[in-house]
Amino acid sequence: MSDPLVEFEGVNKYFGETHVLKDIDLAVDAQEVVVVIGPSGSGKSTLLRCTNRLEEIQSGEIRLGGQSVIDADVNYIRQQIGMVFQSFNLFPHMTALENVAAGPEKVKGHSETKAKERAQSLLDRVGLSAQVDSYPAELSGGQQQRVAIARALAMDPEVMLFDEVTSALDPELVGEVLGVMGDLAEEGMTMLVVTHEMGFAREVGDRIVLMSDGKVVEQGEPESFFENPTTERGQRFLSRLL
């Protein structure tokens, strides 16, 4: 049994007095797709944001490939962790191509030509060959989010974090983004996905993690989780979905 790629060990996080993550233990294997679900305010997004240190944790340990994320150089560790946000956060003064090329060019020091060639192929991969020269304001939400995925992939991360990436989209645009994520999962990307899309969780997820009130209350394979949740909290959450 190989070591997990991402590991949370006794992670605690407070916002002032509020205890938002309570002793989280969680392991994500390489190439595994872990889908985190749960009611809003349960700490799902905070867990993701702690992983790449957009939020600092108060105690516990987070490791990536056995190395402590907390002790590492923050700019270095973030290069290994791709993050996609609910609100896209594309850079509005750059074209789609420039958005995707910015990371490799500015952070990894790749030449502009090389970075843009790579960006072009990544945009092809997310189905946006025709939009390379468009600015974010000229793209639909679904297209913007696909550019954001390409931008994160451009850094060749070890793991991708998806923070409710379809929640800000019009319903008819959700499919195109989930499609790209499904392809990524199939290609073997390690993914930690926070979502309210239960269909996606069931179809693409290798493991479902249910969070509630800052704790992991249940986890398991999608089939067993959705068919026979073992905990009372899990049953309650699922019954409310139906």
Partner 1 sequence: MAETRQRERREPAPEPFLNDRRLKYIGLTASVVFTLVVVGFLGLILYTQVNVDRFVNIIHPQFINAFFVVLQIVVISSVLSVIGGVLVGLGRISETLPTRGIAKGYIEFFRGTPLLFQLIVIYSGIPAFWPPGQFPIENFSIPAAIIGLTLNHSAYIGEAIRGGVEAVPDGQMEAARSLGMSYAQAMQEVVLPQAWRNALAAIGNDQVILVKDTSLLSVLAVPEIISTVQNINSATFDIWTPILWAAILYLAITIPLGKFVRYLEARADPAGGRDR
Question: Is position 236 an interface residue for partner 1 (rule: CB under 8 A)?
Answer: no
State both tokens at 62.
């987070």
Neighbouring C-beta atoms of residue 239, cutoff 10 Å: 9
Taking the complex as a whole, how short is the minimal distance between the CB of residue 86 and partner 1, in angstroms? 9
Taking the complex as a whole, how short is the minimal distance between the CB of residue 229 and partner 1, in angstroms? 33
Identified binder of partner 1 from the candidate list 116, 118, 146, 151, rule CB under 8 A: 151
Question: Is position 78 an interface residue for partner 1 (rule: CB under 8 A)?
Answer: yes
Q: H or E stretch including 180?
A: helix 171-186
**Nearer Cβ to partner 1, position 153 or 216?**
153
Angle, vertex CA 185, rays to CA 87 and CA 145, nearest 5: 20
User: Beta strand pairing status for 33-37 and 207-212?
Assistant: parallel
Q: How many residues does the chain have?
A: 242
Identified binder of partner 1 from the candidate list 11, 90, 126, 128, rule CB under 8 A: 90
Question: Is position 93 an interface residue for partner 1 (rule: CB under 8 A)?
Answer: yes
Question: Is position 2 an interface residue for partner 1 (rule: CB under 8 A)?
Answer: no
Distances (CA, A) of 130 to 12, 89, 152: 45, 21, 19
**Nearer Cβ to partner 1, position 30 or 94?**
94
Spatial separation of the C-alpha atoms in residues 26 and 162, rounded to whole Å:
17
Taking the complex as a whole, how short is the minimal distance between the CB of residue 104 and partner 1, in angstroms? 9
**Nearer Cβ to partner 1, position 147 or 216?**
147
Spatial separation of the C-alpha atoms in residues 199 and 88, rounded to whole Å:
22
* Residue range at the interface with partner 1 (CB under 8 A); choices 27-35, 99-107, 217-225, 227-235: 99-107
* Residue range at the interface with partner 1 (CB under 8 A); choices 2-10, 95-103, 166-174, 209-217: 95-103
Site for partner 1 in 174-233 (CB under 8 A): none
Residue type, 202: R
Spatial separation of the C-alpha atoms in residues 62 and 68, rounded to whole Å:
6
Identified binder of partner 1 from the candidate list 89, 127, 158, 215, rule CB under 8 A: 89
